[in-house]
Amino acid sequence: MSRKFTFWIFQTGEPLHCDIENRRPMRAINLSNKLIEAGHNVVLWSSAFDHQNKNHRTKEYKIININKNLEIRLIPSFGYTKHIGFRRLLDHLHMAWNLKKILAREESLPDVAFIGYPPIETAAVLAKWLKSRKIPMILDIKDLWPSIFVDAFPKLFKPVAIIVFYPFFMVAKKLLTDVSAISSMSESFLNWSYDFANRIPNENDRIVRLTSINNEIDNKSLEFAKKWWYAKGVVKNIPKVFFVGTFSTAFDFDEIYNAAYSLPKCQFVLCGHGPCLDEVKKKMSSLNNVIFPGWIDTVKMQSLAKMSVATIAPYRNTQNFTLNIPNKIVDSLLMGLPILCPLRGEVLDLIQKHRVGLTYNEEFSLKKCIQTLIEDKRLQKKISINARKLYDDEFEFNKVYDGLVFQLERMAINE
């Protein structure tokens, strides 16, 4: 691309280039880097409140110049202590109000904007401002807000919840109608947006997979990581399965407990941290074959993968996950390991169509899935090969983001 454009990216709840802590890059960092690599300028708008660590990067509006091609703008807000709660909704309203005031003074314009959704309020404020200036934009749907607000309530109280959150539904529907295009991680998420807002699909709508960079790791680093695992209690000559992620209510660890209890000669390595970690540790405390090593980096995860039979992705069957292909699934494809997951919907279709894992449920338990892979090494190997092939074919990092960059460039030229 010979022409140079300026792109705005709006993403909250993700790591940023200005964060000191080295955390896993997501949409904001990955797309920014790819656009800069293609020769463009990027203005990255985000929250001054760090969603993952629950602290403030700054309490005032701040502009950070990372380099000549990348500028980060941090929007202040109240902050909150829990992922789910009224305080978080107040935080998003406050951020939207501050964004509106900031944009009222803004004179520069992007060629195209890429807007993360949710939060609903800030996305709506930015989209309205851009539309009034005839700037094309893509809305990137990451979660099914506000539908998931209602889903969290017991059936008896759902009608009341619909009334309470009615304003969010109206704002969200108008937002999805107004934007130039919609992107999301799965076909089901796109279809949800069409049904939710009665929106007609257009040629700029697209699936942009969640994905991870395939960083080559040298043998010396992997060997060092292997020794670290042995020091943590990982045993060399017995089968292993593992989980890496945030210990939260998004996951159900009960079936992992049942499998670990029934398979004492298999190790279960549960990596990460999060609000539910202590509860899960307490549940597993009587089991000698469950290890909690804490947060691990990419090298340790790749090292563990080379020693393991499969990964476990114990997502709960909520609409936000059944219509999606979450990042734990993509991680397993990248590492070339069978996926053990109870999800129906998109993930079940993926597993069955491409034979990249096994689905556990009431009829076929997680224990049986693990036993099947341990006892049938040829099957385990075949599924592993299928998993990596699927990553290369549909989820490979450069394919995904180069395709998105190309579309954003095309929208800028056509405008």
366-377 per-position pLDDT tens digit: 999 999 999 999
Give me the amino acid identity at 292: F
Give the Cα-Cα-Cα angle 322, 45, 71 (nearest 5 degrees).
Answer: 130
The dihedrals phi and psi of 340, each to the nearest 5 degrees, come to -110, 115
For residues 46 and 72, give the distance between their C-alpha atoms in angstroms, rounded to a whole number.
Answer: 8
pLDDT in tens, 334-363: 999 999 999 999 999 999 999 999 999 999
Percent of all residues in the chain with a pLDDT value above 90, rounded to a whole number: 82
Give the list of residues 6+ apart from residue 69 with CB closer than 8 angstroms, or none: 36, 40, 41, 42
Q: What is the pLDDT of residues 232-260, one digit of tens each?
A: 999 998 999 999 999 998 999 999 999 99
Integer-rounded Cα radius of gyration of the chain: 22
Please check the confidence at residue 73 and state whether its pLDDT lies above 90.
yes
Q: Tokens 């995904």, residue? A: 400
Per-residue pLDDT band for 156 (boundaries 50, 70, 90) equals: confident
> What does the block give as tokens for 337?
């390991």
Position 415 scores a pLDDT of 65
Domains of the chain: 6-211+396-414 (3.40.50.2000), 219-395 (3.40.50.2000)
With a threshold of 0.75, does the pTM exceed it?
Answer: yes
Looking at every residue in the chain, the average pLDDT score rounds to 93
pLDDT of residue 23: 77
Q: How far apart are CA 36 and CA 17, in angstroms?
A: 13
Confidence band for 137, pLDDT divided at 50, 70 and 90: very high
Quote the tokens at residue 257: 């407990």
Which pLDDT value is given to residue 87? 87
